[in-house]
Amino acid sequence: MQNDGVRRFHSPETLPTPFGYSHIVEVRAARVIYVSGQVPLDRDANLIGEGDLAAQARQVFENLQAALDAAGATWADVVKLNYYLVDVSELTTVRAIRDEFVNTEHPPASTLVEVSRLFRDDVLIEIDAVAIADE
């Protein structure tokens, strides 16, 4: 369990051992940042990685990074990620890229949903985030 006074990440023994996420992230009063779902579009709205989930996932995490930077937050502040994938069997690819950004010893809580399509047929992934940052 990690406890920094604001965030506490833990996975109780009464639940199955999680793989790559924390069952619970408890947060004491702090600044809450909600990052809307990010998709693999660059700042000029060009799709990055047509048909390539790894390239799309990397762009999504870079977009999340830009959003966190703009809010004065870091990946250490992220407590929840929600993933929307058109092919859940590709989770390993997404997780490998995610692990370049998050603290893998105390990963955020997460939800993964397979969807039949996203807002465009060529978009394979969308991720939103919740971060808790110091005042």
Are 40 and 55 spatial neighbours (Cβ–Cβ below 8 Å)?
A: yes
Residue 127 belongs to a domain with what CATH number?
3.30.1330.40
Q: For residue 64, what are the domain limits?
A: 31-133
Say what the pLDDT of residue 100 is: 97
Say what the pLDDT of residue 66 is: 96
Say what the pLDDT of residue 26 is: 80
25 inside domain = no
Hey, what are 11's tokens?
A: 């996975």
Task: Name the residue type at position 107.
Answer: P
User: How many Cα atoms within 13 Å fall on the side-chain side of residue 103?
Assistant: 15
For 47-81, the pLDDT digits (tens) are 999 999 999 999 999 999 999 999 999 999 999 99
**How many domains does the chain divide into?**
1
For 95-125, the pLDDT digits (tens) are 999 999 999 988 999 999 999 999 999 999 9
DSSP state for residue 20 in the 8-state scheme = S
